[in-house]
Structure 1
Amino acid sequence: MNISGNTVFIPGATSGIGLALALRLQELGNTVVIGGRRTGLLEQLAAEHPGLSTVTIDTADPGSITRAAQQVLTEHPDLDVLVAMAGIMRTEDWTTPEGFLATAEETVQTNLLGPIRLIAAFVEHLRTRPDATIVTVSSGLAYTPLAVTPSYNATKAAIHVLSESLRLQLAGTSVRVLELVPPSVRTALLPGQEENEHAMPLQDFVEEVVTLIETQPEATQVLVENVLPLRWSEARGVYAETVAMINQTDPHGR
């Protein structure tokens, strides 16, 4: 993926990693379209950041994805990067029947079906572009789980394998698949995470991501230094120790 000169759509980019990445990519000379559910907030962000385009989208709603895709492609027919950023993280208690099912279903709807539907809405167009990229967003917890977020961990593991599989199917086309693997980052993904001393500062994360994309153009994953202990815990033979560590010291990690 080139770091500049693209037209990029990032749904779920009204806050957190999505918004920070969108603004940084805009600074680097990309045309950026952000999506979110709250029209008022989108209008505010567009006013605060001239040149930033917006579209209303609810990635948990298939009809909303279809409508937003039509709008984005009509207004930006040169779109060549899709960042499937939208996601939620909720704690669950699987020891009680009423403690998890609704949350688990909502998490799967947003974190897994959302990206699948987004990619389905854009992949045909992206294949017509000479150089296109689908950026998926998994998590370090896809590799080393956090006890309190079972469905989140599972959906992010599914996104990882989906990314690997799509890369195989799209080999030989103009579309690359790049998996962004965040560690715990100081965002509002979970209550208290913005103040979590074990989480990576948001701007530090985005700057390292941009540097890795720029300096490792052939990479299939974007792995900042902070996520490496989670990403490689099993391969390095320290899986049990790493699971114990993050569940003891980082109960609100990503």
Structure 2
Amino acid sequence: MDVSNRTVLVVGGTSGIGRELARRFAAAGSTVAVGGRNQEALAELAGEGFGTVGVDVTDRASVAAARDAVLDRYPELDTVITMSGVMSMEDLLDPAHFEVTETTIDTNLLGTIRVLDAFTPHLVRRGAGTFVTVTSGIAFLPFPPMPGYAASKSAVHAYSEALRAQLDGTGVGVVELVPPAVATAGQEKVNPHALPLDDFATEAMELLAQEPTPREILVEGVRMHRWAERDGTYDELVAQRSRALAMLPGRQG
């Protein structure tokens, strides 16, 4: 992918990985718009020269309105990155967890599908373009305190594979970005092994710029998660990660 000559929309790009990727694409020479719910963050990004649009991926009408606004301003749009996501801990022994699971699935999985559905006709009509979906190392190596998150990201992986197959021959590609734990939003305090955001973005952009672009963007720090089953380390690693269940409020003491 020529990252220096794209017209990119980053949905969920108001913070963290999404915002950093938006800045990296812009620095490389691409035209970049950012969508999200945080109006203050959108205003800051507009001040940096980004196009911005308000969008709530849990609301189909909001996604449709954002699509129309973006395509009106950027009819040459060729790259859509779906970054929106929530990550929460859930105690499955507590029936109250279901509301958290529902929100997680609605945002991470259905929100991704709403965005993909909204822009698929445009990219197919163009006969060229790229969707970048975002999963997680947790999609392949579950983190037991976050079952809904793991399930949602595993589902986005499977959906991305199916979408790629169905779009074959249209000129529209599907690239899956698979981050490990990245030091954003205070995660470095929870996980001292989280990869610095700058390091992650540099490696991810280098992989995106390859020709041909890999189907999965796997930085070095996520490969142990992605290939755990293949490498025979899956059971041991899940057992290690299960120790974190002690973090759940109902399991403490």
TM-score (norm 2): 0.93
Distance 1:221 1:7 in 2: 21
Distance 1:251 1:30 in 2: 45
Distance 2:24 2:124 in 1: 26
> What is the aligned length?
246
Contact 1:107 1:151 in 2 (8 A): yes
Gaps of 5+ in 1: none
| Partner secondary structure for residue 8 of structure 1 | strand
Letter in 1 for 2:216: Q
Matches within 5 A, 1:70-149: 70-98=68-96, 100-149=97-146
Distance 2:243 2:3 in 1: 37
How far residue 18 of structure 1 moved from its aligned partner, in angstroms, is 0.3
- 2:62 maps to which of 61, 64, 78: 64
Gaps of 5+ in 2: 248-253
Aligned to 1:13: 13
| Partner secondary structure for residue 78 of structure 1 | coil
Aligned to 1:194: 188
Gap change, CA 1:58 and 1:213, over 3 Å in 2: same
Distance 1:228 1:198 in 2: 15
Give every structure 1 segment of 4 or more consecutive aligned residues whose post-TM-superposition deviation is greater than 6 Å.
Answer: 249-252
- 1:224 maps to which of 219, 226, 249: 219
Gap change, CA 1:203 and 1:251, over 3 Å in 2: farther
Q: Percent identity?
A: 45
Gap change, CA 1:65 and 1:251, over 3 Å in 2: farther
Q: Deviations over 1:190-229 (max 9, x none)?
A: xx41333210000100000011112352410000000000
TM-score (norm 1): 0.93
Distance 2:203 2:246 in 1: 24
Matched, 1:154 2:148: no
Alpha-carbon RMSD across the aligned residues, in angstroms, is 1.6
Write 1 or 2 for the structure with the bigger share of helix.
2
Distance 2:90 2:140 in 1: 19
Letter in 2 for 1:91: M
| Partner secondary structure for residue 125 of structure 2 | coil
